Structure formats: structure tokens, C-alpha cells
Amino acid sequence: MVTLCPRITYCCCMSVRNGCLIYGYIKLVLAVAGFILDLTMDHEDEDISKIGAIILSVFAVIINIILIVGLHKYIKLLVKIYEIIFWVLVALMVLSMVLTAVFLEWVVALSMLLLAVIFYVVNLFIRSAYLEIKERETDG
């Protein structure tokens, strides 16, 4: 089978699945902390900004729970959902980087490009964990 993404077998001297679980737990803690901060912060501008921040925080918590449950229970559909959401985020990051470079400043655009590259690398690990779960399912 031809794949466009390289396959990673290890993550910091452990399996890709375990590395992605650690990543998922760290992201979940950060998302919950962001949710708590969004609830307690006073958004002076408008109530809509507080509602938007809370919705984004809840979304972050939900997708990180999807990743953790998918990896723990070896449910490849959940890992695939997380992977697709992450690819959409990378595409949005690149699009916003281009728009920022055209209309605003290059420094901001370059920082967004760096973030998009980091998201891409993380998604390679998630993709490799998905393939590991898929192989485990076909072998077992």
C-alpha cells in the first residue's frame, strides 16, 4: 500500500501508541485548564467572546478524550477521527498563515508556519499509532 506520510515506529524510546497517550493526557490537562480559565476570566469586550472561548475549550477537551479513549481501547475509528480533525487544523493553520502574510506581518506568518509544521509532525505520530492499531486488529 502506498502512503504519503512516513511511518514512525518509536517515540522517545517507547512505542508510538504510548507516546501519543502521553501527548493526549498532556493536551487534555491543558484543555481542561484552558476551560477553567475561560470560565473564570472576565471577558470585558463581549459575552460572545466568552461563549466562543468556552466552546473552543469544550471542543479541545472532547477531541483529546476521543484520542485517549481510542488509543487505550484500540478503537481505530476514534483515532482516525482525531487524525482527520488534526489535518483540518493544519490546513486552517496554513490558510491563516497565508492570509496573515498577505494582509498583516511576516513575523506572525512565520510563527504560524512553525506551529503548522509542529502540528504536522504530531499528526505523523498519531497516524503511525493509528496504523499500529490497524495492524494489531488485522493480526489478532
Instruction: Please state, rounded to an integer, the average pLDDT across all residues of the chain.
Output: 83
Kindly state the cell numbers that stand for 36. Answer: 477553567
pLDDT at 30: 92
Kindly state the cell numbers that stand for 92. Answer: 486552517
Count of all residues that appear for the chain in the document: 140
Q: What value, to the nearest 5°, has the Cα angle with vertex 72 and ends 67 and 76?
A: 60
- Contact assessment for residue 8 and residue 126, using Cβ atoms and an 8 Å cutoff: no
* Chain center to CA of 29: 13
Distance from C-alpha of 22 to C-alpha of 48, rounded to nearest angstrom: 33
Distance from C-alpha of 75 to C-alpha of 51, rounded to nearest angstrom: 32
Please write down the long-range contacts of 114-118, taking CB distance under 8 Å and 24 or more positions apart: 116/90
pLDDT at 113: 82
pLDDT at 62: 95
**pLDDT tens, residue by residue, 10-64:** 666 778 888 889 999 999 999 999 889 888 877 666 666 778 778 888 999 999 9
